Every structure is written in C-alpha cells, then in structure tokens.
A and B are shown apart, each in its own frame.
Chain A
C-alpha cells in the first residue's frame, strides 16, 4: 500500500472508478478491515438497488409527446441559428464556463474548439465592431496581444488564400486572456484564429476538426499554444487555410 485510503477513494472503489492497480491495493487493504468492507458492500448494494428499481424505465416505450417535442423542432437554417445563438449564448457560456473547473484535469483541446466557435459566432457577424484593434494598427495590435498573453504572437498572412487581416481582440479564456484574430475575404466571408497560450502539458497534436453548429473549426496544440481556426467554409477549404496558418507559425 503506497498511501493511506481516503474516504473519497473508498467511494471510488465502491463505484469502480479507480485504476486497476489502486483498486487491487484497496481490495487487499480491505481484507483486514471487515467493517469497512461491509460499508463498501452496502454502498454497492445501494447502486444495485437503484438499477434494479429504475432500469426498467429504459425499456418503456418513449411517450409520443417526448419524441415529438424533438422532431417538431428540426435544426434551423444556419443564419437563423446564428441569430438564435445570440439569445442562447448566455446559457451556452454558462455551461462552457463550468468547464473551467474541469480544465485543470482535462486536456486543453477538449474545450478549445468550442470556445473558439463561440468566439467566432459572437464576433464574426459584427458589422461595426468586429475587432478591438484594426489591421491598420497592426504593430500596436501585435504588441498589445503579445504582452497580454505573455508570448510573442504574430497574425499569419493569409493573402495567398484570399484572406486579409481585419484586426484582433482580447478575450477572456479559461485561465487567462486569449487572442482572436479576424480575417475577411473579398466576399466578406470571415475567419477567426483563436490563440491561447495556457496549455500546461506542452504537447503537440495533429490537426483536429470539429463542427459546432454551422461553424467548422480546425484546431491543434503546439507547446503552450492552442490554435483554432473557425469559419463557415467547407471543410477542405478551411483545411487549406489552416495549413497555411500552421506553416507560417512553424516555418
């Protein structure tokens, strides 16, 4: 036995939530403590009884009013969804912010695409104030965001892909400031690059793709940075731009 058994661990043992090695250690430890073993057995019996009493609900036919409640409301067209997204944002953000607690243990990439997509959904439709600092003050923008994130940032040039820098802004992230750079093409189509610099495990990952509502997000980790490129582009087009971003950041 490497360490004493806490009350938390005893419950985790009863619930079978421990890694195999620790489980085996506690199992052996309990053999000399019949009164604690009895307590564990009792908790397990409670769980079993819950299942025995309520699992039957899973086999009941779903009342029509419930399945109809879902079918009635199909996913809306993207534009309308974006508008409604504004209304729902409070709720969504509340849920996302609760993730901040988990962020200490969960890998950074778990929340990265969602947060990036939310930031994209909030600012990309902005007509008058899409950014805090415009591209015409790029030096200021870069200096300011680099200082706040505590890392040297440089917005990639995406002219080859047809996108020009609009500017950037500072946003609150899970554990500190994050930066968002916005780009726009000739048709007014916008992309945002979300950059955070608070990864703890300093890993590198491949590109990953997620879709959040109508928004596609390519994201990857690189040392302490996490990047997410969001836009309402087809996946292959977005991948081209994401590749261009990656190459510039890792020359």
Chain B
C-alpha cells in the first residue's frame, strides 16, 4: 500500500469525525480537504503506524484555528438552544439533528474529546496525543462534555428530562 492509498483509506473516518465536529456536511468536507492537503505536504518522515492519530492531530489544529477565527462564540450556548424549536420523535433524521445541535452547543474542546473517545473509539492516551494536552485534561473535558451533553439533551423540549445524579 502506498502512502497515498493509506491516506485515502482514512478519509471515511476523517469525514465522520469532521461531520460530528462541525455539524455541517460542506464545512466538514472542507476541513477534511484542508487536512489532507496539509498532511501530504508533511508526509515526509511520517511513521505509518500512527497515520490515523497523525491525521486527526492535523485536523484538530486546523479546526481549533478555525474555531478561534470564528471568535470563540459561534457555537450556540444553552440558553439560545433551549428556545430553538425542536421535537423529539422516533424519527432518525430528527434524532441526528437534535444530537448534532447539542454537540454544537458544547465548547469545541469538550466536543473534540467526546467525539474522539465516544465516536472514534480512541484510547484516552491517543486522544491526549491528538489534542496535544495532558491525559488529565482529556479526562476532565470528557467528564464535563458528558455532563453537559446530558443536560442539553434533557433540555430539548418534549423530551423526558433525565434525572441528574450526583
């Protein structure tokens, strides 16, 4: 397998992560394309065993820079979210939309950890390396992300409130 084949093989995973991260298909694919371009420009000296983690770390850097450029406040906060009309139904598309909206309401750094662990199934250590932060930071972000997502999902209108347990 050549290096470009190996990278192509990672595209679906990158797209899934980017989709969940940005909440927007077109923006997600832009992010994937930026990631691929940057990765190929830096492919020299790359260790094949870590290709996925390496690509994700590139995407993380691009995403964080973009998030900063969007002035750190582009995501909706909880108060705004609660007023958006949304109904919980059994319908798949709505379920996806609700989750996607709640994810966007998480601070980007919490969203990243939640997705790397919960969706991409990375180990906590891998997530720490991808994000360039200590393991303890990954864990505390994960706790907060889960707690906050619980509150957001529970706060959706017409959806049963989940009991908050200390």
Using CB atoms and an 8 Å cutoff, list the residues of chain A in contact with chain B.
Answer: 7-8, 11-12, 15, 17, 35-36, 38-39, 42-43, 46-47, 49-55, 57-60, 62-63, 65-67, 69-71, 73-75, 81-82, 84-85, 88-89, 91-92, 95, 98-99, 101-102, 105, 113-114, 117-118, 121, 210, 212-213, 215
Contact = CB atoms under 8 A, between A and B. Distances in A.
B78 interface: no
Nearest to A74: B4
B29 A88 contact: no
Contacts, number: 145
Given A7-B143, A81-B44, A66 B129 contact: no
Interface in B47-104: 47, 54, 57, 95-96, 99-100
Interface in B146-166: 146, 149-150, 162-163, 165
Nearest to B12: A58
Contact of B139 (A11, A60, A70, A105): A11
Nearest to B40: A73
26 contacts: A11-B139, A11-B146, A15-B117, A46-B149, A47-B118, A49-B99, A50-B119, A53-B20, A57-B12, A57-B16, A58-B12, A60-B15, A62-B8, A67-B8, A67-B11, A70-B8, A81-B43, A88-B44, A92-B45, A92-B46, A95-B57, A98-B57, A101-B128, A114-B45, A213-B45, A215-B45
B8 A88 contact: no
B105 interface: no
Contacts of B44: 81-82, 84-85, 88, 92, 121, 213
Contacts of B43: 75, 81, 213
Nearest to B120: A50
Nearest to A62: B11
A75 B3 contact: yes
Q: Is the interface of B mostly helix, strand, loop or mixed?
A: helix
B99 A70 contact: no
Nearest to A34: B165
Contacts of A89: 45
Interface string B98-127: 011000000000000011011100011100
B101 to A, nearest CB: 11
Interface of B: 2-4, 7-8, 11-13, 15-16, 19-20, 29, 32-33, 36-38, 40-47, 54, 57, 95-96, 99-100, 114-115, 117-119, 123-125, 128-129, 132, 134-135, 139, 142-143, 146, 149-150, 162-163, 165
Contacts of A52: 95
B2 A75 contact: yes
A17 B122 CA distance: 10
Contacts of B54: 95
Per CB-CB distance, the 6 closest pairs between chain A and chain B, nearest first, are A85-B44, A88-B42, A47-B118, A57-B16, A50-B119, A53-B96
A191 to B, nearest CB: 17
Contact of B95 (A53, A67, A102, A114): A53
Given A46-B149, A101-B134, A62 B12 contact: yes
A121 to B, nearest CB: 6
Contact of A66 (B29, B96, B124): B29
> Which residue among A54, A59, A65, A82 has the maximum number of chain B CB atoms within 10 Å of its CB?
A54
A67 to B, nearest CB: 6
